[in-house]
Amino acid sequence: MSASSSPPDPAHPSRSDLPTAAAGSAGLGVHVLGIDHVGVAVADVDEAVARYRRLLGLVELHREVNDEQGVVEVMLGSPRRPSAPPLQVLAPTGPASPLQRFLHRRGPGLQQLAYRVDDVAQASRTLADAGVRLLYDEPRTGTAGSRINFIHPADGGGVLIELVELVEPADPSHLPARGRS
């Protein structure tokens, strides 16, 4: 073992047993449309929004409380490129929130990378059938009514990967652009 490598962690076994897609293929049949957003966990959402506004000039595109996920979330974006994938700032709504447990274990910072897919239910079935661990058996409701699921970090190369399917609301005027054109 070289000085730069670390011993295997039995709590996080290697997932080299997972099937891989051939180069140039559509993965395991999951149709990724692009990056939807990057999620950052914070203890205080208003403090974080002010920090990103001050440091990077990002503006608030959308804010909501997602009781099912136990978070308050704010989508921030560039005023110069509103269709670019936003930064999602997430804070727990209470001590029972899974995000609160994340913050307790890891502290604030990058929490997830979200990819947009055309059909999250189909993507979830395809991945589960291939032995990929998902956080939920069925997709749940995410930001602005989107449908979401997550690939467990052990199967996502150490990254919590969110799969997002946009659901067009009857009145999208109050929602962030997120590629709606």
User: Which token pair is 117?
Assistant: 């897919």
Is the pLDDT at 8 greater than 90? The verdict is: no
Q: 109 pairs with which residues across the strands? A: 41
- On average, the pLDDT of the chain sits at 84
What is the SS3 assignment for 49? Answer: helix
Q: How far apart are CA 160 and CA 140, in angstroms?
A: 16
Q: How far apart are CA 83 and CA 10, in angstroms?
A: 42
The residue among 6 and 53 whose pLDDT is bigger is 53
Region of poorest pLDDT, from 15-24, 37-46, 80-89: 15-24
Contact 115, 162 (CB under 8 A): yes
What is the SS3 assignment for 25? Answer: coil
Is the pLDDT at 162 greater than 70? The verdict is: yes
pLDDT, tens digit (0-9, with 9 covering 90-100), for 59-87 = 999 999 999 889 999 999 999 998 899 99
Q: What is the CATH number of domain 32-167?
A: 3.10.180.10
- The full set of domain ranges for the chain reads 32-167
Contact 38, 52 (CB under 8 A): no
User: Which token pair is 142?
Assistant: 């995410």
pLDDT, tens digit (0-9, with 9 covering 90-100), for 102-134 = 999 999 999 999 999 999 999 999 999 999 999
**Angle formed at CA 172 by CA 168 and CA 175, multiple of 5 degrees:** 105
Is the pLDDT at 173 greater than 70? The verdict is: no
For the entire predicted model, the pTM comes to: 0.79
User: Which token pair is 42?
Assistant: 């914070």
The residue among 58 and 30 whose pLDDT is bigger is 58
Q: How far apart are CA 173 and CA 137, in angstroms?
A: 32
Residue 126, number of CB atoms within 10 A of its CB: 16
* Average of per-residue pLDDT across 23-32: 70
